[in-house]
Chains A and B, each alone.
Chain A
Amino acid sequence: MAPLQFQPLSSQPTPSFWSALNSLKLDKLKLDDSEQPMEAWLEESREIHDREKGGTIGVSGSVGLGSGAFGQESGERPPAGSVELKGVFKNYNTIEEFKATETKKEIFNSVADSILASFETNAPQLDTFLLVTFADLKKYIYHYWFAFPAVVSKPAWEIEEGGLVAAEDQLVAEARKLADDLSNRSGALLVRGPAGQRTAAPVKDATAFFEGVPSSERIVAFHDPSHLPDAPGWPVRNVLFYLASKHGLSDVTILCLRSGSSSRIGRVSLPGPLSAEKPTFVGWERNKIGKLGSRVADLGPMMDPARLADQAV
């Protein structure tokens, strides 16, 4: 048994998202820095064919935000087949507030608490994210930091010997069909039953759905943004914790649905009962050099009228 590791999510806001943020800040929020609801999408990882060198290259799915992130009617539609994420957005009015650790800690903890609280209800928030920003509107520079809060499970999940293996095409096809039939855009679903007659249910119904199902046949399928052959993506982390804490499931099979033929499957389990202490959360996004830190988007070359005028010569 080896400890199960997860590939963290990465964010990819589109330029129209920054435009939407601009107009939200200027026209609606103004100096209001209260928290706002927002939406994003998450895609499965993809395999692409390298025409020059042969072979395939895995590309992780990322968390995308478009002009519809703040609920605008005219916003961009999320890509087909993507998972919907709900998030909390907070814009700070000064760079000092944005920099301060305490403010960020506070909002992260409040999001984490609401996730934990939701686990006790019938609508667990499994895919919640947080975005804090500081927008330098004059220069079209945006400082931002995403967080994808995930519960640290104690003890840690372990994966059976052999790790994740390639999933059978038939199972994948069936799980995809079931996911479509459930027609919610959430990331995960439960699957049980013999091949060809499998049935599915939302994650919140786990206790009833897996009643009497041997633990080897309990499948948790999810749209996986990870392309790593040996690690599932971040979103399943909260799902597993939720199943263990609320539904007492400590031994399930995870089915990582990935585009193309790269879906993976593996059986994971908890070595002991969950610790009774209040769990901690992690999940601030790392920046491009792999450190915990905020990112900067400089849209000046694309949005600054002065620079555009220069280029138009």
Chain B
Amino acid sequence: MNNPLLSIQSQYWAVRDYLSPEFVAAGDFLTFKFPVWQWEKGDPSRARDFLPHDKQYLITRNVPCLRRATAVNYTDADEDAEKLLSFLDEAEEVAGPDGKPRGDDDWVATHIGRGQLPYLRITPLPTQPLANLNIKDTADEQIDEIPDMDEIPDMDDEAVGLEEEDDAVRIVHPSAAEVNSTAGQNLLQVRTYDCLISYDKHYQTPRFWLYGYDEPLADSAEQNPLTPAQVFQDVPADYAFKTMTMEAFPHSGQQLASVHPCKHASVMKKFIDRMEAAQPTEGEAAPLTSGSKKGKWGIGGMVRKVTGGSAPPADKKEKEPSGDGEGSSGVQVDFYLVIFLKFIASIVPTIEVDSTTATAL
């Protein structure tokens, strides 16, 4: 309660805006709780002066993406909403007497639970602009690539005489064939993303960015960064080129895929409203217990899930820095980004943005 930020939280939930000091507070919490996330300074010449110079944006690296979005059906918005409700049920269950940790990320898995459908049935028809863009992309690439071919050194010649064979079979390096053969069952190499969260001044919300790396052993392309077209393979067709576009990242100027923030505030408001609506249920059940009990219903449960339930629930509770201040509004500023990640996970379901289970070192 002594945090001055908390006193204004109900206001900002009401206006649905998310102010920069709260972005910093939430970012601090995220980095503290899940050290896979960290603050970055970015290019000083592009620094936003409403944020501390060393806390310009958040980044987590090498987030795996196990399969392409086209391999899974993600397009049903109604079902998403139902899933969100069910996470609240789960949150209550978590608070139940057994305190048994649920399966990892159950409630985040907004679409994941569905089985894979036959490819032909689920491939969404590309919308007109999408198709146009694709055609243009490939055309451009071809034009550019043809003159380059001569310049690219012949890979076979390149290594001649450079290195002697390592005497015994000491290098364990999967060949392309090996990777292909095991790809179905146990992927050795996966596509990975760097995920960034910046603060969007205009919309006053966090904004999510993606930078992709190709599978290290992709058979054809020799390019390490993913092209925009490849990145959009990992975004369900509902979002690609619509809410998800390539734009200049404000802190470096590079073109990264980004979720346009115009709807963030209202979606986040919905998330939070639902969580708050669920709070009284638990409050009635145990009206006399203080913050710790209340914390358990929602955020506590969530945090425990997010951390993979590795530690006993009780310990987790003690360690939470924000166990206090649970009073008027159920959801705290600090948790905003944790919730935000759940929201993002529903937009890019195949990218494990929420894989905050990695243990801190």
A residues sitting closer than 8 Å to B (CB atoms) are: 3-8, 10, 12-16, 19, 43-44, 46, 48-52, 55, 57-59, 62, 64, 67, 74, 76-77, 79-81, 95, 98-99, 101, 104-105, 108, 136, 139, 141, 143, 152, 154, 156, 176, 180, 228, 231, 259-260, 280, 282-284, 286-303, 307-308, 310-311
Q: What is the bound-complex CA distance between A99 and B227, given in angstroms? A: 25
Cβ contact within 8 Å between B223 and A15: no
B residues sitting closer than 8 Å to A (CB atoms) are: 35-36, 38-44, 59, 61-62, 64, 66-67, 72, 104-105, 109, 112, 116, 133, 136, 140, 144, 148, 151-153, 155-164, 166-176, 186-188, 190, 192, 194, 211, 213-219, 222-225, 227-228, 246, 248, 252-256, 352, 355, 357-361
Cβ contact within 8 Å between B361 and A80: yes
Contacts of A288 in B (CB 8 A): 176, 214-219, 222
A-B contacts, 7 of them at CB < 8 A, read: A7-B172, A50-B66, A67-B43, A80-B36, A80-B360, A302-B225, A302-B228
Q: Secondary structure at chain B's binding surface: helix, strand, loop or mixed?
A: loop
Contact of A295 among B159, B215, B224 (CB under 8 A): B224
Q: What is the bound-complex CA distance between A297 and B211, given in angstroms? A: 14
Say how far A45's CB is from chain B's closest CB, in angstroms.
10
Contacts of A307 in B (CB 8 A): 140
Contacts of A43 in B (CB 8 A): 61-62
Say how far B211's CB is from chain A's closest CB, in angstroms.
6
Tally inter-chain residue pairs, CB-CB below 8 A: 213
Say how far A95's CB is from chain B's closest CB, in angstroms.
6
Contact of A156 among B170, B216, B358 (CB under 8 A): B170
Nearest residue (CB) in B for A4 is: B170
Contacts of A55 in B (CB 8 A): 186
Contacts of A15 in B (CB 8 A): 211, 225, 252, 254, 256
Q: What is the bound-complex CA distance between A162 and B207, given in angstroms? A: 49
Cβ contact within 8 Å between A141 and B355: no
Cβ contact within 8 Å between A79 and B162: no
Say how far A107's CB is from chain B's closest CB, in angstroms.
11
Q: What is the bound-complex CA distance between A77 and B172, given in angstroms? A: 30
Contacts of A95 in B (CB 8 A): 151, 153
Which interface residue of A143, A284, A300 has the most chain B CB atoms within 10 A? A300
Cβ contact within 8 Å between A6 and B172: yes
Contacts of A6 in B (CB 8 A): 170-172
Nearest residue (CB) in B for A3 is: B168
Contacts of A139 in B (CB 8 A): 144, 148
Contact of A14 among B172, B176, B211, B358 (CB under 8 A): B211
Cβ contact within 8 Å between B35 and A287: no
Nearest residue (CB) in A for B152 is: A296
Say how far A303's CB is from chain B's closest CB, in angstroms.
7
Cβ contact within 8 Å between B153 and A48: no
Which interface residue of B136, B163, B358 has the most chain A CB atoms within 10 A? B163
Contacts of B148 in A (CB 8 A): 139, 141
Contacts of B159 in A (CB 8 A): 101, 284, 291-293
Cβ contact within 8 Å between A46 and B358: yes
Nearest residue (CB) in A for B147 is: A139
Cβ contact within 8 Å between A49 and B104: yes
Cβ contact within 8 Å between A259 and B361: yes
Given the known A-B contacts A8-B173, A77-B38, are A310 and B140 also in contact in the complex, defined by CB atoms under 8 Å?
Answer: yes
Say how far A43's CB is from chain B's closest CB, in angstroms.
7
Q: What is the bound-complex CA distance between A44 and B361, given in angstroms? A: 10
Contacts of A231 in B (CB 8 A): 172
Q: What is the bound-complex CA distance between A99 and B150, given in angstroms? A: 13
Say how far B163's CB is from chain A's closest CB, in angstroms.
5
Contact of B223 among A51, A284, A296, A303 (CB under 8 A): A296
Cβ contact within 8 Å between A10 and B153: no
Cβ contact within 8 Å between B144 and A300: yes
Q: What is the bound-complex CA distance between A294 and B154, given in angstroms? A: 10
Say how far A82's CB is from chain B's closest CB, in angstroms.
8
Contacts of B160 in A (CB 8 A): 101
Q: What is the bound-complex CA distance between A298 and B222, given in angstroms? A: 9
Cβ contact within 8 Å between B225 and A299: yes
Say how far A91's CB is from chain B's closest CB, in angstroms.
16
Given the known A-B contacts A46-B358, A310-B140, are A19 and B169 also in contact in the complex, defined by CB atoms under 8 Å?
Answer: no
Cβ contact within 8 Å between B35 and A57: no
Cβ contact within 8 Å between A52 and B168: no
Cβ contact within 8 Å between B44 and A74: yes
Contact of B163 among A51, A67, A292 (CB under 8 A): A292
Contact of A16 among B39, B174, B228, B254 (CB under 8 A): B254
Q: What is the bound-complex CA distance between A99 and B59, given in angstroms? A: 35
